[in-house]
Amino acid sequence: MDRPAQSPEEVRGAFRGAAGQLASGVALVITMAEGAPHAATASSGVVASADPPLLAVFVSVGNRMHGALGAEGAFTANLLRHDDHGLARRFANPARATGWAGFAGVDLIGRDASPPILTHAAAWFDCRLRQVVAMGDHACVVGEVVACGRDPDAAPLLYYRGRFHGLGPPVAPSPWSALDRSDLVADW
């Protein structure tokens, strides 16, 4: 089937809806600047490389997080659990409180001058800032993973078509050898 040619205006108009079809995990990205944490919700984190381990997240250019990320050279990416949509909304709100006040009621593992980690993250990545690349209205922030961990029983929060979702049941077994042994105990 031939696809009709689209003008640049038509592409921009259709892009948001088409991009909404890309389901993604939701992470809380945290960095430190001037002794206080700065955080933002990101729904566009990806593994950029396995060797060396690199994680990329995308943040809006010009927001507080974009400005704070380069200050200390480190960040954590905390993959949210399926029921953490309240945290996702909270840290996506530009009118939220800043610094430690913005984390009131959030369970964190504090780490001196390093960015904190969410106590109940589905997975977390402690990253040393490697590169920031401006890409239109967002910046690609690449971090080298220096430590990471996960809760193998936690299901991730997903973002799809403008809404938060949980992970549904598997649709097919995975033959991937990269899975941990605990991941292979599924009942197919």
Nearest CA-CA partner of 76 in 131, 113, 39, 44: 39
Tokens of 85: 């949509």
Angle at 131 (CA atoms; ends 94, 46), nearest 5 degrees: 70
pLDDT for 45 equals 82
* DSSP SS3 for 123: strand
Structural domains of the chain, with CATH? 24-166+179-184 (2.30.110.10)
150, 123 Cβ separation under 8 angstroms: yes
pLDDT for 1 equals 58
**16 φ, ψ (degrees, to nearest 5):** -60, -45
pLDDT for 153 equals 93
Nearest CA-CA partner of 41 in 157, 168, 174: 157
Instruction: Tell me which residue has tokens 């003008």.
Output: 7
pLDDT for 177 equals 58
Tokens of 153: 């029983």
pLDDT for 81 equals 95
- Is the preceding omega at residue 52 within 30 degrees of 0, hence cis? yes
pLDDT for 188 equals 44
Amino acid at 99: G
pLDDT for 110 equals 82
Average pLDDT by stretches of 10, the chain with 188 residues: 80 84 90 87 87 92 74 89 94 89 90 86 95 87 95 92 86 63 54
pLDDT for 101 equals 92
pLDDT for 30 equals 93
117 conformational bin, left if phi > 0, alpha if psi -120 to 50, beta if neither: beta
- Label residues 60-99 b or e (16+ Cβ within 10 Å = b): eeeebbbebbeebebbbbbbbbbebbebbebbeeeeeeee
pLDDT for 33 equals 84
